[in-house]
Amino acid sequence: MIHNFAMDGKPTLKELAAMTGFSVSTVSRALSNAEKVKYSTKKRIDSAIDEYYGRKNRTLSGIIGLIVPDLANQFFPLMLTGIDNVASISGYTLILSNSDGSPEKEDKVLNKMIDIGVEGVIFVSSGNATDFTRQVVSSGIVPVVFLDRHPCIDGIDFITTGNYEGMYQAARYLLTLKHRRILYLGGKPGTSTENERLSGFKAAMEEAALPVEERDVLCADFSFQKGYEVVRDLLCGNRFEYTAIAAANDNMALGAIKALQEKRISVPDQVSVIGYDDIPGAEFSGLTTIKQPFVEMGRRATYQLLATIKDPFIPKQTVILPTTVVFRNSCAIASDYTG
């Protein structure tokens, strides 16, 4: 049933058009019960009205939720700093949940956050959004801003960094150091950050007429332990003929260095290693890396969420922040370069 209502502080035709993507005239015809509007159109407009009232009646809890995939990874608490900076000066309290990168757990924590009445959610996706997450986003029952990893949903608010460009620059730097045999150490397959970094790495290598073969790409999962294990196993075989390793995050880069040092392989004299993120452990270890502006990422996501809480009809936006190369001492001229 389509609501009939006067325009006294209730959703206007323009607001409903913005919420549904239909034109104002289509919304007007649907509301006047004109026969020539499709049932599905009327249904969508009807649910938009329910959403509107749902939002209007949501008590102002003063709470925003944050869902991250791996609390043990220093990168995510570092983004939390930026989020909390903005949330606390704006009078909001943060509640944080760890999804362990599990879509099932994402649904559970997102549902609980809605139940307790959060006013909005900042969401680092495990990769491919579940149907429930898609419904929450399309219904607008609570504003969601996605951060860092893309959930494969169109028309969302999304804050990330230039993952392709960042890893492209990392490979370019190793190539300027005359490395020709570079091993790529990849993070969690299927995440947008991993996919884009691998593409950037391949692009730089192909530009240097050094096409990347399957054997040159190791799959890990962004953790120190997995990064260590896959490089250790490669070193145990007799296939390690690389002079450099480009890792898709610092945790794995540091794990790789542990494996190399166990085999008495010196970094960077024999093998150069570059990481990605610039977590505190990178500076402590002298790791050359690609710095992600994680505090700014968190701040921008929170500003966007608070703006959407205030006005659910502001345009959605994608923000891609730049990365920078941080030069330390884990990279040197290729050990097989003879000038």
Q: Which residues contact ligand RIB (rule: CB under 6 A)?
A: 73, 75, 148-149, 187, 191, 193, 222, 249, 251, 276-277
| Shortest-Cβ-distance residue relative to ligand RIB | 193
Is the CB of 106 or the CB of 277 nearer to ligand RIB?
A: 277
CA distances in angstroms from 144 to 101, 178, 218, 297, listed in the order given? 18, 45, 34, 15
Q: Give least dist CB 310 to ligand RIB, A.
A: 28
Residue placing its CB nearer to ligand RIB in the complex, 54 or 77: 77
Nearer to ligand RIB (CB atom), residue 191 or residue 304: 191
Q: How far is the CB of 289 from ligand RIB (least distance, A)?
A: 10
Answer yes or no: are the C-beta atoms of 185 and 220 closer than 8 Å.
Answer: yes
CB of 155 to ligand RIB, least distance (A): 21
Task: State the residue for tokens 């509640």.
Answer: 95
- What Å distances lie between residue 279 and 124, 184, 193, 253, 315, CA to CA? 18, 19, 16, 11, 33
Q: List the structure tokens of 339.
A: 């000038």
Amino acid at 165: E
Report, in Å, the least distance between residue 277 CB and ligand RIB: 5
Nearer to ligand RIB among residue 20 and residue 249 (C-beta): 249
Q: What is the CA radius of gyration of the chain?
A: 24
How near is the Cβ of 278 to ligand RIB at its closest, in Å?
10
* Smallest distance from ligand RIB to CB 123, Å: 13
CB 110 to ligand RIB: min, Å: 19
The residues, ordered by sequence, that sit 6+ positions from 261 with a Cβ below 8 Å of its Cβ are 267
Residue number with CB closer to ligand RIB (79 or 183): 79
Yes or no: say if 174 and 331 are a contact pair by the CB < 8 Å rule.
yes
Residue with Cβ nearer ligand RIB (195 or 272) = 195
Whole-angstrom distance, CA of residue 304 vs CA of residue 155: 14
Nearer residue to ligand RIB within complex by CB, 307 or 319: 319
Q: How far is the CB of 102 from ligand RIB (least distance, A)?
A: 15
Q: Which residue, 149 or 299, is less far from ligand RIB as judged by CB?
A: 149
Which is nearer to ligand RIB, 120 or 255 (by Cβ)? 255
Closest approach of ligand RIB to the CB of residue 59, in Å: 33
Hey, what are 230's tokens?
Answer: 């896959």
